[in-house]
A = this chain, B = another copy of it.
Amino acid sequence: MNYENLTSADLDFLISVVGKEYVSTRDADLDQHSKDESFHQAVRPSVVVWTQSAAEISAVLKYANDHHIPVTPWGAGTSLEGNPIPIFGGIVLDTSRMDKVIQLRADDFQIDVQPGLRYKEMNATLAKQGLFFPPDPGANASIGGMIANNAAGTRTLRYGTTKDNVLRLEVVLPSGEIIRTGTRAKKTSSGFDLVHLFIGSEGTLGIITEATLRLSPLPEKFSAAITSFSTTEAATQVVTNIIGSGIVPAALEFLDTATVRAISATGEFALGENPTLLMEFHSATDVALKEELNQVEIMCRDGGCLNFEAGLGRDERDRLWRARHRAYDILVRSRPGVAYLIVDVAVPISEYSRLVSAAQAALAEQGLQGYLVGHAGDGNLHPLVPYTPGDTASYTTAWAADEKIVEAAIAMGGTATGEHGVGIGKRRFMPLEHGASLNAMRAIKATFDPNGILNPGKIFESD
């Protein structure tokens, strides 16, 4: 694709749509929108535009489409694969002013929101009604960004990913047309599933301007358990056994030996030095919770666990999970000057321990001391690959490890990305993972965005 450079006439048009104070070419604003939280290289847009309605976005897109100007939507900039970096310059369309709750319908367990709303703020409000939106990417992402990336986190096992919790979308297409798709009903078989097509499309097909989310009752009863095993295989087998028993943990996390060793070294936690599982359970009743925990302990002991510590209630859950929540900070603090490329792959559960071995081998091959954490219940692994910011050679080494890990995951029937999206970092694996179906994806892209103006250079290697 060939894109045009922005002219002063273009800037005048943008000002006429959103107002002078919401169009910026200031260095600070361009810098702030040049980079997400990933290790990918910053690229500045020509201009940042803060829209406040679907109508404004429609006007901007129609103009950009007519003039072949790239438009990259921007939520909170918390993504981890360079998803919103405007690598072809042009317009960054920031949705942070569109951060309103449009309507909460508690009786239907639904909320209509604008895309710029941050999910942590939304959940704080919803908590007063005993409700929450379960997908939890960790960083305080915007709802629009979560939908664009199909974000997920530790609670996927019980509550699903973003994909499983969105019912309806309003989307502006590159033509400027505003469409609404999906239904407020909990299920539908009415026509093609455009909602799921837009979820995870990373702003390459349209810009989300409103979403109806599916909410869950906030759990009132919590329990948690932490247990370790002499091998990853033994830990993984217990994961399979727990899921096979019909018990549905809210979360089931894995930490490898290197990670628990680093955490234990702080002296704040005594986790031992073995592959460790951390679990959380939600239930409507205390009795059910106790009985579940009981069964889980039996399965862990039958599976040869070296230790098993459990607790009932929110405080106990928080205490046992503190190590997991602090893990990333501890790993960063423990090695000053080192940053981590957070790899994101997922495989069928039966392949999880093989994936762990492959990741450890890939790190060792590059002479790197990395760490492995992951959502074991989903088969999702996040190897943390160290690199030194500013040192080009260390990027190359980290990328080499990343490549080996991703190729191993795909070879095991898995995916190049479980929850962070393709962005820039995973584009090169798309032919390997998708084969001929990548052509079908490209055909859809060409149908929705024939001029390739929306978030160009993402998902597909060359536009």
Contacts and interface: CB of A to CB of B under 8 A. Distances in A.
Contacts of A284: 245-247, 292, 295
Contact of A287 (B160, B291, B426, B433): B291
Contacts of A89: none
A219 to B, nearest CB: 6
A419 B183 CA distance: 13
A187 B348 CA distance: 9
Interface in A109-161: 109-110, 130, 149-152, 156, 160-161
Interface stretch (A25-33, A60-68, A191-199, A396-404): A191-199
Contacts of A244: 109, 130, 217
Nearest to A420: B189
B291 A295 contact: no
A416 interface: yes
Nearest to A412: B184
A374 to B, nearest CB: 12
B288 A188 contact: no
Interface stretch (A92-100, A255-263, A315-323, A435-443): A435-443
Interface in A195-239: 196-197, 199-201, 205, 216-217, 219-220
Nearest to A167: B348
Contacts of A326: none
A179 B435 contact: yes
A291 B433 CA distance: 46
- Taking each of A160, A418, A446, which has the highest tally of chain B beta carbons within 10 Å of its own beta carbon? A418
Contact of A426 (B190, B193, B200): B190
Contacts of A179: 435-437, 439-440
Contacts of A278: none
A347 interface: yes
Given A177-B436, A193-B196, A245-B217, A187 B346 contact: yes
- Copies assembled: 2
A188 B283 contact: no
Nearest to A179: B437
Contacts of A417: 188-190
Interface string A372-387: 0000001110000000
A413 B419 CA distance: 30
A185 B149 contact: no
Contacts of A324: none
A259 to B, nearest CB: 21
B189 A419 contact: yes
Contacts of A197: 192-193, 196-197
A5 interface: no
A108 B193 contact: no
A383 B183 CA distance: 20
Interface string A68-97: 000000000000000000000000000000
A301 interface: no
Contact of A185 (B200, B413, B446): B413
Nearest to A196: B196
Contacts of A421: 189-190
A428 interface: no
A456 interface: no
A318 B436 CA distance: 47
Contacts of A452: none
Interface string A255-284: 000000000000000000000000000111
B187 A418 contact: yes
A181 interface: yes
Interface in A160-185: 160-161, 163-164, 173, 177-181, 183-185
Given A189-B422, A444-B447, 7 more contacts: A183-B413, A186-B349, A193-B200, A194-B437, A219-B246, A246-B282, A288-B292
| Top-10 shortest CB links A-B | A288-B288, A196-B196, A184-B413, A185-B346, A246-B284, A188-B415, A179-B437, A181-B437, A108-B348, A183-B415
11 contacts: A149-B189, A151-B189, A163-B196, A180-B436, A181-B437, A185-B409, A189-B421, A190-B433, A217-B243, A217-B246, A285-B288
